[in-house]
Structure 1
């Protein structure tokens, strides 16, 4: 009798989710961004949300829930109902880096979510203060060897991508450069422009105003391909440092257990928005990003692959989980 009741309850729950999926969406959708307003993921997600709202005839509301290196907002979504009405838009750090930085996370990067889509991706640029007497990464390494301990590099915090990138460079090239962590991208770049640190990394769209103002200069692309905004800046591989690579992606996630039908509806709608040439040019390409609009399996595979590489970088950086 008990087993029969349980089976009936499961069937009713499945039927309810199927009905939900068929009518989705029938109420406002909230997308949580676990970072402060104004960053790249925040700006793009807001723009996508406007288009989704027009398409679905339902409000798509973006909410910033910051703190603990994106862990607070992410955990909020992990606890949400798996019905497609609370989503998470975030970057690699949340699903890859945080697993190595915190002894206890209130979410499981591999089990708490259904990956919907990697929306966009971008290789990062290694940048320097305009006054640094080096215009390439090779020249920076040579300068660091001549004057050990005189070059500082900034990051978004311990274990962040810039920290790991420069830690590997320091280890592989046997140079002395000092890490100065900041609480986020904006204060890091502000310090770089002011000369408090001499090196950093960021995406093309973020650094462009500072480059145009003559405050900082790009010295290498930390990836495999040239970047259109800075076509004369060569890659780290071309400069002789093929291991010095770092990229950022923006991904969309739903709580684990969200019906596949709903995930697919969201994925297709986001892909349609990103595939619009005008939207892509204004919101993606002009900011140094590349449209990916992939599926959930691709995103899950990317997370697994990055976690392997990041584990090695974390060890080289000597980062200890808090």
Structure 2
């Protein structure tokens, strides 16, 4: 009887250790099947371009297909919800920008996912200041000139955003309130459609990173009028910042990040994060896919991404309140 009790006690004591050992090795063999990365925006946008390049390298590194799928619409709510509802096993990931996690919470009364609890931060890949853009035929070359022209315009200037609550929406609404301008908001289903409309003259103003706007700027169809940050862009060093122009409150940076469904085992999250960081930090990758697009390499892990989210939430909340934007 004593021997039986001893065996039971020993087994109970060993159980947590065995469980811990199992958990710590749960990334062994991952991935054993294709991994799907959901981009909640149309193809061709900044995060889509970068994550496809990362996915191509992960294909080689893992020996498994990494499939990038675009599920745009509803200011990224549709695609994000797909990932939030996916099994927490690392085989479905979300590649997105700030908006999905930081600003949507302030702009929509009903969100299908919880921005605080539905996702596990995986990787803060890149960061870049946004650029205020104008159609090439607009008679303005700076933010100050834009404010002057908009103040006396007979009809309102239209600006495009990539959805309600996106950075263009918040930034131009803040400018509209602060300077008492008449601006019209025209939402699109992503940054690419918005910039296409800007280049075609459907709208007069927009916002985008050097990454996605570069080709249209080079083609002479749109032009940069200000960098929404505190330092000038290395890609467009002659374009002044909003701070230089006297608008220090107009700040907007975009980051590209990877998330997994909440509850994904930490070892799997760490493996994905480490492998993605190794790819991003490779000089050849950075020089080919990041630097030409004006993207700053971060390659941060889960903790850095979580900290960035908390900082961004505070800044976004302040901008939403200042602009007087109400949730819909």
Indicate if the aligned counterparts of 1:119 and 1:291 stay in contact, CA closer than 8 A.
Answer: yes
Aligned 1:82-231 pairs, distance under 5 A: 82-147=88-153, 149-231=155-237
Alpha-carbon distance in structure 2 between the residues aligned to 1:43 and 1:35: 11
Query: Number of paired residues?
Result: 318
Look up the match of 1:319.
325
Look up the match of 1:59.
65
TM, length-normalised to structure 2 = 0.89
Look up the match of 1:277.
283
Residues 95 and 9 of structure 1: is their aligned pair in 2 closer, same or farther, counting only changes over 3 Å?
A: farther
Look up the match of 1:34.
40
Q: Any idea what SS the aligned residue of 1:157 has?
A: coil
Residues 10 and 83 of structure 1: is their aligned pair in 2 closer, same or farther, counting only changes over 3 Å?
A: farther
Alpha-carbon distance in structure 2 between the residues aligned to 1:69 and 1:262: 28
Q: Pick which of 44-53 and 57-66 moved more.
A: 57-66
| CA-CA distance at 1:16 after TM superposition | 4.8
The Cα RMSD (Å) is 2.3
Look up the match of 1:72.
78
Indicate if the aligned counterparts of 1:167 and 1:316 stay in contact, CA closer than 8 A.
Answer: no
Look up the match of 2:306.
300
Alpha-carbon distance in structure 2 between the residues aligned to 1:161 and 1:110: 20
What's the CA shift string for 1:95-118, capped at 9, x where partnerless? 012112222222111111110111
Residues 47 and 225 of structure 1: is their aligned pair in 2 closer, same or farther, counting only changes over 3 Å?
A: same
| CA-CA distance at 1:148 after TM superposition | 6.1
Indicate if the aligned counterparts of 2:57 and 2:279 stay in contact, CA closer than 8 A.
Answer: yes
Q: Any idea what SS the aligned residue of 2:280 has?
A: helix
Alpha-carbon distance in structure 1 between the residues aligned to 2:93 and 2:160: 31
Runs of 5+ consecutive residues of structure 1 not aligned to the other structure: none
Q: Is 1:244 aligned to 2:250, yes or no? A: yes
Runs of 5+ consecutive residues of structure 2 not aligned to the other structure: 1-8
Alpha-carbon distance in structure 2 between the residues aligned to 1:100 and 1:272: 34
Q: Pick which of 206-215 and 288-297 moved more.
A: 206-215
| CA-CA distance at 1:165 after TM superposition | 0.3
Mark the structure with the bigger radius of gyration.
2
Residues 37 and 10 of structure 1: is their aligned pair in 2 closer, same or farther, counting only changes over 3 Å?
A: farther
Indicate if the aligned counterparts of 1:149 and 1:178 stay in contact, CA closer than 8 A.
Answer: no
Alpha-carbon distance in structure 1 between the residues aligned to 2:67 and 2:108: 29
Indicate if the aligned counterparts of 2:72 and 2:189 stay in contact, CA closer than 8 A.
Answer: no
TM, length-normalised to structure 1 = 0.91
Residues 190 and 288 of structure 1: is their aligned pair in 2 closer, same or farther, counting only changes over 3 Å?
A: same
Indicate if the aligned counterparts of 1:218 and 1:233 stay in contact, CA closer than 8 A.
Answer: yes
| CA-CA distance at 1:173 after TM superposition | 2.1
Indicate if the aligned counterparts of 2:75 and 2:166 stay in contact, CA closer than 8 A.
Answer: no
Residues 61 and 256 of structure 1: is their aligned pair in 2 closer, same or farther, counting only changes over 3 Å?
A: same
